[in-house]
Amino acid sequence: MKIDMKKGNLERFVTPAAAVFLFEGEEPAGSAALLDRASGGLVTELLKAGDFKARLHATALLYTGKALPARRLILVGLGKRKEVTLDRIRGAFAAAAREARRLDAKDLAASTDIGLPEEKPERIVAAAVEGVLLGLYRYLPYKTVDREEFRDLQSFTIMEADGARGKAIRKAAAEAEAVSRAVCFTRDLVSAPGNEMTPDRMAKEAKKMAAGRKLAVKVFGEPDLRKLGMNALLGVARGSNEPPRLIAVEYRGGKRGAAPVVLVGKGITFDSGGISLKPAENMGEMKEDMAGGAAVLGVLQAVADIALPLNVVGLVPAVENLPDGKAYKPGDVLTTFSGQTVEIMSTDAEGRLILADALSYARKRYRPAALIDMATLTGACVVALGDLGTGLFGKDADLNARIRAAAAETGELVWEMPLWEEYVELIKSDVADWKNTGGRSGGAITAALFLKQFAGEGPWAHLDIAGASWLKKDRPWTPKGASGIGVRLLVEVLKRWSAPA
Ligand code: BES
Ligand code: MN
Ligand code: ZN
C-alpha cells in the first residue's frame, strides 16, 4: 500500500473515502468540523440524531452525495478527550482503514488535524501511518480459495493544510512507514508455518531482507558452530533433520569502531519440547517460538531504513526442537560456548540453551555497549503478566529505564521483573555447573537468571515475550496472530540511543 502526503484541505479532496475523528460528548473539532461545515452539517446531523456517540474506535458511515468531494465519510470515535492516548489514535486510524477496506474503497484520506491541537502533528501522522499499516495486516500466502474476498486498500493519503509543517510531517510519516513495514516483515516470518520457516529459511529471509540495504549478513552453519564450540545450540539441534543456523546481521551506521548495541533473538522455528514432549493440544502454536529472532531481524531492517547513526548487530540462533533417536535427552550434560556446563533437566527448556551460546558469543565477539535479548522463553511469564505483557529482566538500571521509557512511547506493555540472586541456587546442578530448569515456581525468573550466567559483564537486558508475541484476539491495531511485538520497542530504544543528548 502506498502512503501519500498532500498539501491541501481534506474538505476539497476527491477520494472514495475520507476519515474524520470525533470525541465522545463533543461537537466536531478539527477536520471533522471543517468537513461538517463544508457539507452543510452532515456530521452534526448524525450526532443530533443520536446515531453516533463517538465511543472509542466505533465507526459510522456517511454517503456525501453532492455535499463533499469525498464520496464516503468514515467517522471514527476517539472516546473521551481526557482519556485519549497516542495508542488510541493509532487504533482509530486502524479502524478507519479497516472500514475503508471492507467497503472496497481504494483510497482513504485523512488530515493530521483530528481536533487535538496540543499534540504534535508529527506524532499524529506517525500514529496514523502505523495504525493504517499495522491494522490492515493479514497473512494470506496460503489462501487459495475466495481470494477475491480479500480486498486491499491501495493508498492512504494524509492531507496537511499548513505547508510550513510539510517537511517534518513527511519525515515522521516516512519513518513510521519504515518501522511499520518492519513490523509486518516480522509478523510474516512468525505467521509462516514451521515446515516453511526452518532455520535455513530464516537465514535466507535475513539475506533477502539485507540485500539492497546497508546490512551485512553472516550465516554460520553446522561446521562453523562446531568449530566455535556452540554445543548448547548444537545439542538442541540434534533431534531435527533441519540443520541449525546462527544468523548475524550487522549495521554500521555509527562511528567506526564504536561499540554496537547487540540484539539477540530466540529463533526456535518449532518447539515440540523434544524428548520432554509437549502435550499435543495447541502444539502447532509453537511455530511462533522464533518470534524473538524474527523481531530482531525486523529491528535491523527498520534501523537500516531509517538510517540511524549507530552501530547495531542482530544475532539469531535458529534451531528446530524435535524428538529423535539422535536428540539430546534429560540427564545429558552440554558444554556451552562459554565453557560452562549445563545438565539438561528438560529438553523443553531449549530456548535458554541456544541463547546462552549466542549471548556469550555476542559478549566476546562484539564487546557491546548494551546487549538485549528477546525470547518467547517461558509459559511462567505468561502466567505472571498475562497474554499482553512483556517481562523485562536486567540489573542495569540505565538500560532498564531506557527500555521502559521506549515502551511508554510505543504502547508496548513492558513490566520489570526481579532477578533475585536468592533463586540462583534453584538452577545449580549436582553434576554440572547449571541445570537448564529451576522448577515451576518463579519459572520466568530462573530462566532469566540462567541467561544472566552467560551474558557476561556489562549492560544486559532480557525481554520475555512468550505472551505478547501471538495474540488470541484482535486488538485495535494488531489483528490476532503474530503481533510483531518488540520491533517498535527496540527501534525506539535505538532511536533514543543515537539521539544527541
Ligand atoms: N517456547 C516455550 C515457552 C512458551 C510458552 C512460548 C508459551 C510461548 C507460549 C519454551 O521453550 C518452553 O517450553 N518453556 C518451558 C520451560 C520449562 C520446561 C522450564 C515452559 O515454559 O513450560
Ligand atoms: Mn520449549
Ligand atoms: Zn521454546
Ranges of CATH 3.40.630.10 domains, the chain: 180-498
Backbone angles phi, psi at 6, to 5 degrees: -130, 140
Give the tens place of pLDDT for each residue, 416-440: 999 999 999 999 999 999 999 999 9
Measured distance CA(150)–CA(225) in Å, rounded: 44
The residue type at 334:
L
Measured distance CA(461)–CA(394) in Å, rounded: 4
Task: Yes or no: say if 268 and 291 are a contact pair by the CB < 8 Å rule.
Answer: no
Q: ∠ CA 189-481-318 to the nearest 5 degrees? A: 30
Ligand nearest to the CA of 291: 1
The burial class, CB within 10 Å (0-12 / 13-18 / 19+), for 221 is middle
Backbone angles phi, psi at 68, to 5 degrees: -145, 150
Residues with CB under 6 A from ligand 1: 271, 289, 346, 348-351, 376-380, 382, 437, 443, 466
Backbone angles phi, psi at 366, to 5 degrees: -110, -10
Non-local CB neighbours of 144 within 8 Å, separated by 6+ positions: none
Q: Give me the pLDDT at residue 482, please.
A: 98
Measured distance CA(184)–CA(171) in Å, rounded: 20
How far is the centre of ligand 2, averaged over its atoms, from the C-alpha of 378 (Å)? 8
Best mutation site among 378, 383, 463 for ligand 1 pocket (most ligand atoms within 8 Å of CB): 378
Measured distance CA(436)–CA(450) in Å, rounded: 7
Q: With a cut of 70, list the residues of the chain below it in pLDDT.
A: 501
Non-local CB neighbours of 229 within 8 Å, separated by 6+ positions: 335, 337
Give the closest residue to 384 by CA, choosing from 394, 392, 372, 373.
Answer: 392
Task: Yes or no: say if 116 and 123 are a contact pair by the CB < 8 Å rule.
Answer: no
How far does CA 158 lie from the centroid of its chain? 24
Grid cell 530456548 in the structure block, residue: 351
Measured distance CA(351)–CA(373) in Å, rounded: 11
Measured distance CA(39)–CA(434) in Å, rounded: 71
Measured distance CA(189)–CA(351) in Å, rounded: 18
Task: Yes or no: say if 242 and 194 are a contact pair by the CB < 8 Å rule.
Answer: no
CA distances from 283 to 8, 113, 192 (A): 53, 47, 15
Give the closest residue to 317 by CA, choosing from 273, 352, 274, 268.
Answer: 268
Q: Give me the pLDDT at residue 163, please.
A: 84
For 392, left (φ over 0), alpha (ψ -120 to 50), or beta? beta
Nearest residue (by CA) to ligand 1, atom 8, is 466
Domain spanning 180-498: which CATH class is it, in words? alpha beta
Non-local CB neighbours of 284 within 8 Å, separated by 6+ positions: 194
Element (H, E) at 463: strand 460-464
Atom of ligand 1 nearest to the CA of 377: 3
**pTM score, whole prediction:** 0.98
Nearest residue (by CA) to ligand 1, atom 5, is 379
Measured distance CA(188)–CA(175) in Å, rounded: 20
Instruction: Look up the CATH superfamily of 2-160.
Output: Leucine Aminopeptidase, subunit E, domain 1 (3.40.220.10)
Give the tens place of pLDDT for each residue, 193-239: 999 999 999 999 999 999 999 999 999 999 999 999 999 999 999 99
Ligand nearest to the CA of 282: 1
Tell me the Cα Rg of the chain: 24
Nearest residue (by CA) to ligand 1, atom 3, is 378
How far is the centre of ligand 3, averaged over its atoms, from the C-alpha of 202 (Å)? 16
Q: Give me the pLDDT at residue 501, please.
A: 64
Q: Which residues are catalytic?
A: 278, 352
Cβ atoms < 10 Å from Cβ of 148: 5
How far is the centre of ligand 3, averaged over its atoms, from the C-alpha of 361 (Å)? 20
Nearest residue (by CA) to ligand 1, atom 16, is 349
Measured distance CA(258)–CA(255) in Å, rounded: 5
How far is the centre of ligand 1, averaged over its atoms, from the C-alpha of 447 (Å)? 10
35 HSE (CA, 13 A, CB side): 38
Atom of ligand 1 nearest to the CA of 266: 1
3-state secondary structure of 459: coil
Measured distance CA(193)–CA(209) in Å, rounded: 19
Atom of ligand 1 nearest to the CA of 438: 19
